[in-house]
């Protein structure tokens, strides 16, 4: 099985690549790409899902799965957003089907109006035969979060330390908006090289792991990172908890800067000014 991920870990001889969390390229795209300047359907869906916009659409049973509860209403909402008054579910679902090839979505067969985001498919964890994971402090480094509310764009990063050492500038910046939905925020803040080694692109041994709830947030389960996890309203099963208040950056800030040992969480400040095209692709 192949996928269109890219990673800077592939060229490293590290045995720890398996612990790296990878999301598909599309997951790193900003909500409003400069070219199109139009909101994209997958983001619109995540937006509604994160808002708990009841009625029209909701999360399904599996991780990343969602159910369209009221297809025509969803279509109407989508049509309103795009200025397409004649939008209906037939057309919207055609757009969803175009996501199959792009590996953004796939259909949950047998279940009516049920689709699934492809997040989990590309996550490489719990693969039998891989070396045991190294101690957490060797793997995880959490950087960023402006220490004061008045600082420039807040930056949150999760990264593999080796990546930081070898490519200190290759970690994209991500400035989550306060209302950013969790599933969108998480991938766009995870490690993503700006310079992808083209030649090695196909050599990364991707594994299509069976769905493992919370796999992408495995690192957040590390005891030392619990404050962050709770600040992000992320449950240990990986999917966001109900967070009516949305993002509380001060809360996150308090959680990170208070009570957590400095050796376990490295804090680094960085201007998000010129480098703000976070996950943008070439």
Residues at the contact surface with DNA, assessed by CB under 7 A: 33, 36, 40-42, 71, 78-79, 82, 84, 86-87, 89-95, 97-98, 100, 102, 107, 109, 111-114
Q: Which is nearer to DNA, 105 or 186 (CB)?
A: 105
Q: Which is nearer to DNA, 100 or 127 (CB)?
A: 100
Q: Which is nearer to DNA, 56 or 142 (CB)?
A: 56
Instruction: Kindly report the backbone phi and psi dihedral angles of residue 157, in degrees, each rounded to the nearest multiple of 5, phi listed first.
Output: -135, 145
State the nearest-atom distance from the C-beta of 42 to DNA, in Å: 6
State the nearest-atom distance from the C-beta of 241 to DNA, in Å: 28
State the nearest-atom distance from the C-beta of 217 to DNA, in Å: 26
Q: Which is nearer to DNA, 86 or 242 (CB)?
A: 86
Q: Which is nearer to DNA, 90 or 237 (CB)?
A: 90
CA distance 155 to 271: 8
State the nearest-atom distance from the C-beta of 76 to DNA, in Å: 11
Q: 234 pairs with which residues across the strands? A: 240
Q: Which is nearer to DNA, 30 or 246 (CB)?
A: 30
State the nearest-atom distance from the C-beta of 68 to DNA, in Å: 8
State the nearest-atom distance from the C-beta of 178 to DNA, in Å: 24
């Amino acid at each position: 099985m192949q996928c269109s991920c890219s990673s800077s870990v592939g060229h490293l001889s590290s045995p720890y690549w398996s612990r790296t969390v990878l999301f598909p390229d599309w997951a790193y795209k900003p909500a409003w790409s400069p070219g199109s300047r139009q909101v994209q359907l997958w983001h619109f869906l995540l937006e509604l899902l994160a808002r708990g916009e009841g009625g029209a659409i909701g999360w399904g049973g599996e991780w990343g799965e969602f159910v369209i509860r009221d297809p025509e209403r969803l279509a109407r909402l989508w049509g309103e957003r795009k200025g397409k008054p004649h939008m209906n579910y037939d057309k919207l679902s055609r757009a969803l089907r175009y996501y199959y090839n792009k590996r953004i979505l796939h259909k949950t067969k047998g279940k009516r109006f049920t689709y699934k985001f492809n997040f989990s498919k590309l996550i490489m964890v719990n693969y039998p035969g891989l070396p045991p994971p190294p101690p957490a402090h060797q793997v995880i480094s959490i950087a960023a979060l402006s220490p004061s509310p008045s600082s420039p764009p807040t930056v949150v990063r999760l990264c593999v330390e080796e990546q930081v050492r070898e490519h200190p500038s290759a970690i994209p910046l991500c400035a989550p908006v306060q209302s950013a939905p969790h599933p969108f925020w998480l991938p766009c803040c995870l490690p993503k090289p700006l310079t992808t080694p083209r030649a090695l692109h196909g050599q990364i041994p991707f594994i299509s792991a069976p769905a493992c709830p919370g796999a992408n947030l495995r690192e957040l389960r590390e005891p030392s990172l619990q404050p962050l996890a709770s600040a992000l309203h992320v449950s240990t099963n990986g999917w966001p908890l109900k967070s009516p208040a949305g993002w509380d950056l001060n809360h996150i800030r308090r959680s990170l800067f208070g009570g957590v040992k400095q050796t376990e969480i490295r804090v680094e400040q960085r201007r998000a000014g010129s480098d703000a095209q976070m996950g943008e692709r070439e």
